[in-house]
Structures are given as structure tokens and as C-alpha cells.
Structure 1
């Protein structure tokens, strides 16, 4: 059986998804990525994509760069989200949500740009910090969360993880310049 990685394509996204090569499965009434195509270009159609921060910039983040303001910044993020996870709508056990930084990377300028801050429950947040989750025995939980929210099978996730870790390795070779101008929205 061929791998058909399911996507969550909204009606207004159909043209974009099809232009990237997504196909419609009439039987399942959903779009999917054909087996021969990489998955990363379709991340905007995944409920829970994975973004791994390059190891060259571990410990360089909003919290480390804005220590005095961090508490107020993350509180604004939590309040904006109604203290619920912006991906699954849930809340964590120890605390309702955690603040996650979403980044984009420009290889030409070697700039790691903060796009926004979002509130995630503990498990959704750990999916974004895969290595941390593995070290702390959370692999089963984060795998289950990604599989469930994206509507995937293990084969889909394994293919995607290979792609995510390939780009992580490449990005980790770069000495990135941080651009946190997006913080103006939170200060």
C-alpha cells in the first residue's frame, strides 16, 4: 500500500496545496501528499508540524535575551490564547500552557527570525522539542499527539521526522543572527 500522508486543507488553501502537488482522495474526502513528494513543503497544512531549533542557537531565545521582560511577555501570550493550547485546545496538568517561539530561517542572510509566540499545552510543546522529549521519556506521548492531531500513521511520522532532522542538521551548521523584531507585538 502506498503512503498517503493526510493533510488538513481548508477550502481557501486548495489551490496552494494542489500547486505543491497535493492530491484529493474522494473516498476519504481529504487531501494527501503522494509518497514520492517530501512532506516539509506541506507544513502549513499540518495541524502540528515540528520545528527544531538548530543546535547552534540552543539557549538563544526570547527568555534568554529578554530575561527581565520574559514573565510579562509570556503572560500576554497565555492571556491572548485564553490559557488554552492554540493547537489542540487543551491544558497541561502542572500548568495550563507554555510559551513557544515560532521561527523562520533565511539561509542566505543566516537570520533566524522570530515570527510569533504561541501558547501550547505541555505535550504539544514537547513535540517542538523532540530531543528533550526523548531524553525525558516522552517519545510515546509526543508521537501519539502528532499522529492524532495530523491524522497520520507511524510511517507518515517517520518520513516527516527524517526530513525534519535533515534540515535540523543543515541549520545547526550555521551561526545564526537572531531577529526578534516581532517581539514589539508582545511588549
Structure 2
């Protein structure tokens, strides 16, 4: 049987908003009703996600788009030398309908990822939470009070969004050449 070859993932994906939040570092708490259903989980295989995230790393020059860290920088700072293809979402409300739309893919280092997902980071222990806070203040030039205010607002928004069921719009992954996992309907997935 001939091996299936997939076209390369484009560096610029149709409908991707590369300006969404620029290179800002912020806490991005995913609503509890969306936990476990990231865009990458609806793809037909791990290979599909690997192709897409490799493109994200390459177009960013294998450096964090937020702080500029490379894998080598992370090792010197005492972090695991990992980059992440972080999924940035916008949340749309039209009447009673709610849509969590994958809007951008960004290359983010582990240090910045710990800030973005500070809720998860806090479960790892005080050391991890402290270094995430330090990273957020360093990158954003914030004081502790400014960071606390940001985290309070992120939590407020999370509580509000967690009251709703969200449809997941991963059209961006389709535009990147991804294929939807057959039977993927744990919650409504938009793939247009």
C-alpha cells in the first residue's frame, strides 16, 4: 500500500489572525466546560498535530513569540527545553449560541506557557507558580499588584465563560491541512 503524503502546512493559514493579542503574555484560563477538548484533540492523528506545530515552530524561528526564548535559553534558565504550539481562542456569543473559535497558533516557550496556563501551573506546586509569576512580571514589566489585578480579571472572565457550553470552531486546523477525527462529536465541532 502506498504511503499517504500530505502537503506541507502553509506558514500563513487562511483565516488565522496573527495579530490576536500580538506577542502579549497573559493568563488564558479555558472555561471548565471546554476542558479536554483543545483543537488538536479533534485531529485524525498525532501526526496531523505534529505537522502543524512543526510549522508554528519553524515560522517563529524556533523561538518563543512572546519572550524570544529558544530551547537553549530555557535550559540555561532551568526549564525543560520545550516549545509549545499554543492555541489562542476567541469566544463569540450570539444570542444563546456560544462559539470557542481557534483563531491563532503561536510558538510559546515553557516559561510563558506556565503563565498562560497558570491554573494548571498552580497545581504543580508553589515553586512553579512563583516562577510563572516572575516570568509574567519580567516579560510584561508588571509590578506584583499589576499581575494580581490581571489574574483577578482572568479569573472573573473564566468564571463567566464557564457558565456556558461552547461549540468548538477549529476551521483554522482544516485550513492548515488537518483532517478531523472520524466520529469526533464529544461536543459540537465546527469544521467549515
Q: What TM-score does the superposition give when structure 2 sets the normalisation length?
A: 0.70
- Unaligned runs of 5+ residues in structure 1 are 1-42
What are the superposed Cα offsets for residues 28-71 of structure 1, whole Å, 9 maximum, x if unpaired?
xxxxxxxxxxxxxxx95883122211111011012211151111
Structure 1 residue 186 displacement after superposition:
2.8
- Bigger relative contact order, structure 1 or 2 (CA pairs below 8 A, ≥6 apart): 2
Where 1:170 maps in the other structure, the secondary structure is: helix
Structure 1 residue 185 displacement after superposition:
4.4
Where 1:104 maps in the other structure, the secondary structure is: strand
Corresponding residue for residue 67 of structure 2:
88
Would you say 1:111 and 2:99 are equivalent positions?
yes
Out of 83, 92, 96, the position equivalent to 1:97 is 83
Would you say 1:177 and 2:154 are equivalent positions?
no
Q: What TM-score does the superposition give when structure 1 sets the normalisation length?
A: 0.72
Corresponding residue for residue 58 of structure 2:
79
Out of 139, 164, 178, the position equivalent to 2:129 is 139
RMSD over aligned Cα atoms: 1.9
Change (3 A) 1:148 1:179: same
Would you say 1:60 and 2:34 are equivalent positions?
no
Structure 1 residue 183 displacement after superposition:
1.9
Asked if structure 2 preserves the Cα contact closer than 8 Å seen for 1:56 and 1:174, the reply is yes
